[in-house]
A and B are shown apart, each in its own frame.
Chain A
Amino acid sequence: MSELDTTPPLMRVQGLSCAYGAKTVVRDISFDLWPGEVLAIVGESGSGKTTLLNTVAARHMPSAGHVYFDLRDHGLQEIYAMSEAQRRMLARTDWGFVHQHAAEGLRMNVSAGANVSERLMALGQRHYGQLRAQAIDWLERVEINPNRIDDRPDTFSGGMRQRLQIARNLITQPRLVFMDEPTSGLDVSVQAKLLDMMRTLTRQMNLAAIIVTHDLAVARLLAQRMMVMQNGQAVETGLTDQVLDDPQHPYTQLLVSSVLQP
């Protein structure tokens, strides 16, 4: 149990609320996230889950509450108290963000290789041969044929684009990845491949992740913990299998019972 007590959380969210004008879309959310943990935020449209993700990922100012991240060597720091430069640095190195639509998370007009190595170049790597070798390595890890390295993502299928997005984010070995509906809109077989890869990578790299999804199967497959959101509030939080197999809250019970089983 000692290991449980001493490891600090990687991220701590306290009393977070977000509003768009007079409308509060996220209310009083709190949770901790430890290294290597995957948390799924589940809810239907309008639940506030995407806003919550964006706020926690420093992309949208909260109206109340705090978001702390454990900076290497510096301990937990409030991310909204950091300078813009620090936040952007964080977003480029220690964090990843996988968008629902790959086009939002990629540069569609440059090659796959350039997309994957951009973060390394941003960090000052200047050896073309090595950059290219690392890009090839990562393309292989996400099961994209390395001979597509010079092709542009607009020639890729949806599933390939998502995998490219993942490679682009993971190349700097981030400790935390945010994902916004990463498998929505993809064919089922493609989803399976992607989810499997995400599972493998999160385990291999001891990656922590916060995944927003409306798909309970994705939550069950990828996340150890789950938060169910309704109208901006977290109605139930806990172990994924417990929340899905023994739902307590009426909304959770509704959600779980509504899922079609093939």
Chain B
Amino acid sequence: MSQNNPIESGPARDPHINFAYLDERTKRMIRRAILKAVAIPGYQVPFGSREMPLPYGWGTGGIQVTASIIGSTDVLKVIDQGSDDTVNAVNIRRFFQRTTGVEVTTDTTLASIIQTRHRIPETPLREGQVLVYQVPVPEPMQHLEPREQETRQLHALQEYGLMHVNLFEDLSHYGHISSTYDYPVLVNGRYIMSPSPIPKFDNPKMHLNPALQLFGAGREKRIYAVPPYTTVESLGFDDHPFEIQRWESACELCGSKESFLDEVLMDDQGKKMFVCSDSDYCSKRQVAP
């Protein structure tokens, strides 16, 4: 599929399937969960996650969120690791084409709903847009405290010492905080949230973002949200504050020094080049730097 063609061919709308695959009652249930999530930024709302035509671990949560909010006039963009044309992104996009018939695009500025796995687009979002994240593990303290009964208490009582234990450990062992993705954040000064496995490079983009950010975890059956213009602060210590990654080189294709770069191996001798992870952003810059 060509990078320059924002409108692609795909399957036609299948009239035998309900709009966006889910039945209306399910959509209503999920919308209620979304409303609650928006009302309590960063709080994980349980929801009745449905059986979807793809296994857990492939974005069923994000898909259910998108399916519940999408309307016939929406324009949908689906990315995976920043790219519109990986297998995962293509399959999800085709799923929605088949079940909704909505217009699809690769252009971040034209989309009204963007479903993403593991990246936030480089192009700043605007009011009215919705970013839907695919989340594997919604609980930021899971690996330190596996009991959900306990983590619910910790969130409820705002007992977040454990999160800092984790950061402390990193500093002791590596001299710096080692998490480079899924870096925990404090939302609206109240709940600590897992932003999904986006690189920490993207964390600042969540802060005071004009768009609505929704997070869906299908296997874990949780939805959470960051409403527009909400504060999102990455955790850190006073003497070791949060820092984003930096590269020494620029993108080989478009010359950007500000975007998240993927490392691409060119040959068996280890020659590599750095390229923007966000394909739409990169291609636009190549056309009009």
Contacts and interface: CB of A to CB of B under 8 A. Distances in A.
A127 B144 CA distance: 21
Contacts of B267: none
Contacts of A85: 157
Interface string B99-127: 00000000000000000000000000000
Interface string A109-131: 11101100111011100111101
A117 B168 contact: yes
A118 B144 CA distance: 13
A121 B157 contact: no
B238 A118 contact: no
Most A CB atoms within 10 A — which of B162, B169, B171, B172?
B172
A148 B153 CA distance: 32
Interface string B257-285: 00000000000000000000000000000
B234 to A, nearest CB: 13
Given A110-B169, A111-B169, A149-B172, A119 B238 contact: no
Contacts of A110: 144, 165-166, 169
A101 interface: no
Interface string B163-186: 011101101110000000000000
B165 A128 contact: no
B247 interface: no
Contacts of A128: 168, 171, 237-240
A28 interface: no
A249 interface: no
Given A85-B157, A111-B169, A118 B237 contact: no
Contacts of B153: 84
Interface residues of A, number: 24
A111 B164 contact: no
A107 interface: yes
A127 B238 contact: yes
A117 to B, nearest CB: 6
A12 to B, nearest CB: 26
Contacts of B164: 121-122, 126
B159 A121 contact: no
A6 to B, nearest CB: 35
A59 interface: no
A141 interface: no
Contact of A84 (B157, B161, B166, B172): B157
A118 B171 CA distance: 14
Interface string B139-162: 000001000000001000101111
Contacts of B166: 110
A131 B240 CA distance: 12
A205 B213 CA distance: 50
A129 B239 contact: yes
A85 B172 CA distance: 30
B143 to A, nearest CB: 9
22 contacts: A84-B157, A88-B159, A107-B165, A109-B144, A110-B144, A111-B173, A114-B168, A114-B172, A117-B168, A118-B162, A118-B165, A121-B161, A121-B165, A122-B160, A122-B161, A122-B162, A123-B161, A126-B237, A128-B171, A128-B237, A128-B239, A131-B237
Interface in A53-85: 84-85
B165 A114 contact: yes
